[in-house]
Amino acid sequence: GKTALIAGFIGGYVANNPISKMELVDGTWQAVSPVPSGFLGGIIIAFAVGYLVKWLNEKIQVSHNWLAFKSTFLIPLLAALFTLIAMIYIVTPIGGALNNGIKSILQSAGKTGEMVYAVILSATTAFDLGGPVNKAAGFVATAFTIERTLPITARVISIVTPSIGLGLSTIIDQKLVGRRVYDKQFYQAGKTSIFLAFMGISEGAIPFALERPGFVIPLYVICSVIGSVTAVSLGAVQWFPESAVWAWPLIDGIIPYIIGLAVGSILIAVINVFYRNRLIEKGKLQVF
């Protein structure tokens, strides 16, 4: 709640701007700035502060006349002091070490590490179309991007590939198999899905995923991975964390980026149309 905001802001600031400590360097005491804990430190201290404030609110009991003092001064002060101590002596050393370790592993792996990262990031991004798994992947990817460790290319492609691909399937179905493979309401949903994708929004694909999740979700996850890896391997690089079309001018290698996006989207569309047509032929799917 609001009581934890001040401490949260302090923790977030110190995570990226760690407080220097006096250390003995070559026989003299000098202020040494530690490695920032960055995103990891920010997340750790955010949860710690939140639960601390919740605990303090439960344990510190005051009369009604002192409630304002408790919520506006006492608990924020205690939380801020806790945050500074925890950041200096616990979170910054641990978070900084973790950051350095992750960076070293990914960077030492070179191109292989970049591809493994792209596969994992694109799969987790596409999986639940803006849900908690997607958000968790976004937290990690944004941290690596801000710190210039690895680009966010695979994520931004995988945000929109499912929506474009499933929307595209409503446009090409009659051209591919000579009939509609969706109920009528999905054709307007398909156009909306494509439009939202170019605005950087993945939720337009949700109606398609909910209708037949056992096939559609694995399909768009696999195809998003294929599209992302194609773009990355061809040299597409994006550092700006935005998937909307207006961010395309900021991409280094826009042609490989579009190729990867097209590969993933077209695969989703074509495979889904033929799959649904096969279900119709077997009498397992009726279209109205």
In 3-state terms, what secondary structure has residue 186?
A: helix
End-to-end CA distance of the chain: 49
Q: How many angstroms separate the CA atoms of 198 and 182, rounded? A: 23
Q: What angle do CA 243, 115, 268 make, to 5 degrees?
A: 55
Q: How many residues are listed for the chain in this entry?
A: 288
Closest listed residue to residue 162, CA positions, set 123, 214, 108: 123
Q: Print pLDDT tens along the chain (288 aa).
A: 788 899 999 998 898 888 887 777 777 777 777 878 877 788 889 999 999 999 999 999 888 888 889 888 999 999 999 999 999 989 988 888 877 777 777 666 667 778 888 999 999 999 989 888 888 788 778 878 887 878 999 999 999 999 999 999 999 999 999 999 999 999 999 999 999 999 999 999 999 999 999 999 999 999 999 999 999 999 999 999 899 999 999 999 999 999 999 999 999 999 999 999 999 999 998 888
